[in-house]
Structure 1
């Protein structure tokens, strides 16, 4: 295993001390210049920190070093952050940071649209079902929901419960904090899942348990309906999980 330089360990410990002290300028100086905005919103720590403890360091490929630091507040509550350090300008800089273990983001504004065209979909999720729209005349599946069938122009649309199982059609790993609710949950993976039972309709959602794993197009996934966590609002959502045996 590659050696972690003592100078870097000292730098990581000092970085933890600056985090506890709220030394904003010092923290920014430790970030890669082109990652400052992203890194400032990538992780969350409790207020009123009193202690930082370096838990572990591990040298990885291409000279990268991964450090885990535990932060504790005045109430004794703690979180762990994992930061990736890389050589830069004769020293070291942080290129990625996240809370561990991986936790899912939750967007409070999700829910039925004002016109009610997708109301049945959200009602299904609240009832533990994935419901998709289908034309009552030509029987084609319709997604996203709309008042008229785009295939035959019929207004006779219905809703059917489908098995939330499919394959990944496309995916992206998001590192940017596009909403306040995603702070502390970066990065996360968004997938477009193709549902064979619903005419290969493609449904968007977050893929769980992806930290440190390589996602591939075509992987089999299973959806589970997730209810809003405590302290949040909104409607239930489908979260996707890679099928057993698919990870390499």
Structure 2
């Protein structure tokens, strides 16, 4: 499986995720959330930043169902979904991940026909340090 490649700006995101927290970098001056993390705020050009905990709630902004040929480590899981999630409390922040049935469930644990654009999701963590998403019941 793939593991995150970290840099100085993004390392805190992965450290919080490893602890089961979904946080986004936020400007320390204008409070604008930003992702991917970077040293300077694109809104006010400040170099001040903080990591704000989010609710972990969002909605599916877009998705695709991957089929072979794929990366060798993922081929046996196909077909599986890859989603872009817009965070509820930071709507300009969108994260890529997978919808799973429960924390620790495989990438192919949710039938593709259950995923819809606009579906409400919640971040879950399974000890891998990668945020995944479960469908919220409406």
How high is the TM-score relative to the length of structure 2?
A: 0.86
> Offset of 1:138 from its aligned partner?
1.1
Aligned pairs, how many?
A: 130
Residue 155 and residue 169 in structure 1: after superposition, are their counterparts in 2 closer, same or farther (change >3 A)? same
- Number of the residue aligned with 2:123: 223
Confirm or deny: 8 A CA contact 2:20 2:127 kept in the other structure.
no
Q: Which runs of 5+ in 2 are unaligned?
A: 101-108
Matches for 1:127-166 after TM superposition, within 5 Å: 127-166=19-58
- Give the structure 1 partner of residue 113 of structure 2: 213
Q: Which has the higher contact order (CA 8 A, sep 6+)?
A: 2
Answer with 1 or 2: which has the greater Rg: 1
Query: Tell me, what secondary structure is at the counterpart of 1:132?
Result: strand
1:39-81 superposed Cα distances (whole Å, 9 cap, x missing partner): xxxxxxxxxxxxxxxxxxxxxxxxxxxxxxxxxxxxxxxxxxx
The RMSD of aligned alpha carbons is 1.5
Tell me if structure 2 keeps the 8 A contact 1:141–1:199. Answer: no
Q: 1:193 aligns with which of 73, 85, 93?
A: 85
* Deviation of 1:127 (Å): 1.3
Name stretches of at least 5 consecutive residues in structure 1 with no aligned partner: 1-106, 229-235
Write the deviation string for residues 87-144 of structure 1: whole angstroms up to 9, x where unpaired: xxxxxxxxxxxxxxxxxxxx33x2242x321111011011110111000111111011
Q: 1:218 to 1:157 in 2, by over 3 A?
A: same
Task: Flag as ranges the 4+ runs of structure 1 deviating above 6 A.
Answer: none
